[in-house]
Amino acid sequence: MAQISAFPALRYDPEKVRLADVVTQPYDKITPQMQDGYYKASPHNLVRIILGRPEGRETEGKNRYTDAADCLKNWRQAGIFAQDPPSIYAYSQRFLVPGSSATVERRGFIAAGTLYDYAERVVFRHEQTLAKPKSDRLSLLRATHAHFGQIFMLYSDPAQTIDSLLFEDGNHEWQEVTDEYKVLHRMRRISDAATLNIVKTEMADRKLIIADGHHRYETALNFRREAAITSSACLKDNASRVMMTFVNMDSPGLVILPTHRVVYGLANFDVPGFVKSARELYEVRELGLIDAPRAATLLADSGKKAVSFVAVTKQGSFLMAAKTGSEAHIPSDFSARQRKLDVVNLHSLLLEKALGISHEQVTNQQHIRYLRGAEEAFTTVKTDPEVNVAFLMNPVSIEQVREIAFAGEVLPQKSTDFYPKLLSGLTIYSLDDGC
């Protein structure tokens, strides 16, 4: 089953840089505004490697990927990075759950995890991937031979055995940093052989689900295949592993947020006509000019009994709960498990049937945008003349993610939002080390 190992991580030297100035959110969560801020924060901010700006016209020999490799090489030579002995890292994130007053802590650990093809049924995905992001990440990996962010992996441990071991009380030295979302990240290095052996043994019978990082995981698989043909035995061995953060899916600190949908640019959208179409499959309750917190509460309550959404329009909001038998109208290429998902119902019945937005348009993000906050969805409907309707969603449960993934199936895009994200740059796994 799952194989984990210690690895000699590169880490920013706190004597040379301030950690808060150099770590980043995952590359695919970095907006242009965030990129600007990272560039200004420090000349050694990791953004220059994971999402660099090309200087002038890019050529085969001089481009953002070769620039990234140069940064890594130069920063190592300058001592910006220090190298640890083979270790794993206890990693916790303490945060306020968006939309609530609850502060929770999510615990996990960073280690090198062996790569498995999906057919081996050790690592399971829960979403599809796109070719363009994988091509980009593969070009970066080819140039740098290094992993800068961790794959977010879920495993099951109802007894909390590993967390209890790694986070037991003691006078441990923790490295801390607070990110731009006010999330406190804490990490400590563990190199004790006895502890490493216990964790390795405990993980040996676990199956893993990718929570975040599908594109980077499949990129690592592709690079492993290349290395098997063209590389030295050392690089080939190192490329068979990737840096992962392992989080117990049975932990109370695991939070999945909803991803709300905003529909825009439909020339013939008509609120009464849309509501009439929706009533064929949903019980529709008019909510009037309700506010976001109240709408979210009503949605959560309704979701305990049936697939439910809140449709927010410029003429008021509507609570929609699926009628018995509405699942029969979902296309037959979805499994019985998938038909129970709110997002499958929304996309198949309301977006495609009631609003005429095709599956291809949804995939290409035509006429649809995604938002995390219900308040933002209400504001967008009110202020943006292009917006037709926003759909507030309940979050997917971890039980649904587990069931879908272990069945070898996938959820539609933008179904899960595991919060918070793992910081990039806390540890770096160089595949050339030891070669």
pLDDT score for 364: 79
pLDDT score for 59: 80
pTM value is: 0.92
Tell me the pLDDT tens digit for each residue of 93-132: 999 998 888 899 999 999 999 999 999 999 999 988 878 8
Question: In terms of DSSP bridges, do strands 10-12 and 4-5 run parallel, antiparallel, or are they unpaired?
Answer: unpaired
Q: Quick one: which of 18, 38, 17 has its CA closest to 26?
A: 38
pLDDT score for 132: 82
Yes or no: say if 72 and 49 are a contact pair by the CB < 8 Å rule.
yes
What residues form DSSP beta bridges with 287?
A: none
Length of the chain as a residue count: 435
For the chain, the domains span 4-255+419-430, 259-394
155: Cα separation from own chain's centroid: 15
| Residue at token pair 């790569």 | 115
Low-confidence ranges of the chain (pLDDT < 70): 169-171
Task: Identify the sign of the CA torsion 103, 21, 19, 255.
Answer: positive
pLDDT score for 231: 78
pLDDT score for 423: 98
- Which tokens hold the place of 32? 């242009």
pLDDT score for 41: 97
